[in-house]
Structure 1
Amino acid sequence: MLGSLTRRVGHHRWFGAAARLLVPADRLVGRLTRGRVVALGLIPSLVVTTTGRRSGKPRSNPLLYVPDGDAYVVIGSNWGQQHQPGWAMNLLADPAAEVDIKGRRTRVRAEVATGAERDRLWQLLVTEWPAYRTYVERAGGREIRIFRLVPVPDGPPDGAPGR
């Protein structure tokens, strides 16, 4: 019930403003619960850790996601603001990242979706979070990038020597 309520109020501008204020608290809860609780457990969420494009330091952000096979789909909506979110810019600079879902960490490589693939993933995203349509309007025509986070192997394949 709370998830459906959250999805309904997600279209309102005040929700985007309030949610931006809650992101730091969400990061803290995610760290304290080792990634088991993100977005108060109301919507499917993960924590993506990117490498800061300027600082070179790890940067973690809670995000809504939808599964797509073994990959995770996220969108750089930034709540409909006019600029791209920092984590999206970080993925453009270095597509290697890590996701944490309910305490399980997975290394991933980000792919920017384009063309028909982007259209297909957009439909998955707005089915989960209809407010993305509103965010596109608020962004004033800014292209909102969709990323497919594809798991990468943790080590060398089948007994191959390490790097």
Structure 2
Amino acid sequence: MSDPSTTSANDVTVPDGNTWNERIIAEFRANAGYVSWSSEAEFAAGRPIPPWMPGFDEHFDERGMPLILVHNIGAKSGRERINPLFFQPVDNGWAVFGTHGGSPRDPAWYRNLMANPRVTIEVGTETVSAVARLAQGGEREQIWAREVALVPKFAEFEATAGRQVPVVVLERVDG
């Protein structure tokens, strides 16, 4: 009987996304919000944290890169999801980016946030409530420009996708 957490393609067993996300989430929680970069082999096998990318070396240390865990409700399923995401601190919250690795489609988490904007965020060792909203106009352009300056690969993702990458602001909610 095959392991339900894996799929086989050309005799290569690759863990499914949920198994990888569980590993990323566990690593995030064990390391106060930091996750190590994937090796080229891990990334090729489907680990969702990419190999080191230019631009990150100046901003992150040997602990890896900081991520944010966004707990959201599935737009179709109604079930809780947890998505590890790149983020940028903004005012009273965090911005996240729907690059989907350059896919022409928005990521599922983006659709979930637009349908159900009340979320819980894990950042570092803190857990907070937040509300998601789409950044637009000048606000979006300012946040996006800062992110592309930090991670030039994101501009490539947007060009490849042929769509404007959504920038979602997760604003902290008191209480």
TM-score interval (norm. to shorter)? 0.7 to 0.9
CA deviation after TM superposition for structure 1 residue 153, in Å: 1.3
Tell me the residue number matched to 1:31: 26
**1:1-34 deviations in Å (ceiling 9; x for gaps):** xxxxxxxxxxxxxxxxxxxx88852542423653
Tell me the residue number matched to 2:138: 116
Change (3 A) 1:109 1:56: same
Greater Cα shift, 55-64 or 21-30: 21-30
Q: Distance in 1 between matches of 2:158 and 2:20?
A: 25
**1:64-108 deviations in Å (ceiling 9; x for gaps):** 101112210111110111111110000110111111112311111
Q: Distance in 2 between matches of 1:23 and 1:37?
A: 19
Contact 1:112/1:145 (CA < 8 Å) preserved in 2?
yes
Contact 1:27/1:60 (CA < 8 Å) preserved in 2?
no
The two structures have a TM-score, normalised by structure 1, of 0.73
- Which 5+ residue runs of structure 1 have no aligned equivalent? 1-20, 155-163
| Higher helix residue share | 1
Contact 1:81/1:135 (CA < 8 Å) preserved in 2?
yes
Tell me the residue number matched to 2:158: 136
- How many matched pairs? 133
Tell me the residue number matched to 1:93: 115
Q: Distance in 2 between matches of 1:39 and 1:24?
A: 15
Taking the TM superposition and a 5 Å limit, the aligned residue runs for 1:41-120 are 41-120=63-142
CA deviation after TM superposition for structure 1 residue 42, in Å: 2.4
The two structures have a TM-score, normalised by structure 2, of 0.69
**1:112-148 deviations in Å (ceiling 9; x for gaps):** 0111111111012112221100001110x22211001
Tell me the residue number matched to 1:157: none
- Which 5+ residue runs of structure 2 have no aligned equivalent? 1-15, 37-62
> 1:48 aligns to what SS in structure 2?
strand
Q: Distance in 1 between matches of 2:103 and 2:137?
A: 23
Q: Distance in 2 between matches of 1:23 and 1:129?
A: 26
Contact 1:47/1:61 (CA < 8 Å) preserved in 2?
yes
Change (3 A) 1:24 1:64: farther
Question: Quick one: which amino acid aligns to residue 23 of structure 2?
Answer: L
Contact 2:27/2:34 (CA < 8 Å) preserved in 1?
no
Aligned CA-pair RMSD: 2.1
Contact 1:46/1:99 (CA < 8 Å) preserved in 2?
yes
Contact 2:28/2:35 (CA < 8 Å) preserved in 1?
no
